[in-house]
Amino acid sequence: MQIIRCLTLAVIAALATGCSSFTRESGQTLPRDASWGVAPLVNYAQTPQAGERAEQILISILAEEGVRPLMYPQPPRQDLLLQDDRERQIQALDWARQQRLAYVITGSVEEWQYKNGLDGEPAVGLSLQVLEPATGRVVWSSSGARAGWSRESLAGAAQKVLRELVGNLDFE
């Protein structure tokens, strides 16, 4: 009976961790009270405006860690669907240099969708980098992906991925 319990717990643990994948980099410790900014996340997913959605969730996750970054301002009267995300990211790094920000968080959205099929599980894939705008040097990077359960929302799956990624940052 004890063996069946142990095997059942092992299978459950394998299934729970099998739905997520993360890379971790042990980077330098970064000051929480430095001047931080968030640059646009490049959207490589097929879902329109997935980068902007992920940015909004990222801001709230950073607030949980005590980091209050400046957000790159959206130019007035421009349709986000028509803008090139890479160009916005380059402009945001120029903006960060002008603002004399110590660090900027940027990255990309690789996947942001509900999978096809009866259950329609949410699937999220994200990469984040912390850059020094003055030098352009990447001081930290990490990526993660997760397929949620059928009744989980896409935003909920994204929160879990972003919380794990930001949790890997070493703040002092």
pLDDT digit string, tens, across residues 37-53: 999 999 999 999 999 99
pLDDT confidence band for 109 (50 / 70 / 90): very high
d(CA 83, CA 42): 11
Tell which CATH classification among 3.40.50.10610, 1.10.760.10, 1.20.1440.230, 3.40.50.280 matches the domain 20-168.
3.40.50.10610
Name the percent of the chain lying above pLDDT 90. 65
CA atoms within 13 A on the CB side of 10: 6
pLDDT attached to residue 74: 76
pLDDT attached to residue 79: 60
Q: Does residue 88 surpass a pLDDT of 80? A: yes
- Domain spans, the chain: 20-168
Token readout for 96 is 């960060």
Mapping DSSP to helix (H, G, I), strand (E, B) and coil, where does residue 32 land? coil
Angle separating helix axes 50-64 and 154-167, nearest 10 degrees: 50
Name the percent of the chain lying above pLDDT 70. 78
Residue 106 pairs with which residues in a beta bridge?
A: 129
d(CA 21, CA 18): 8
Mean pLDDT for the stretch of residues 149-161: 92
Token readout for 72 is 């790159």
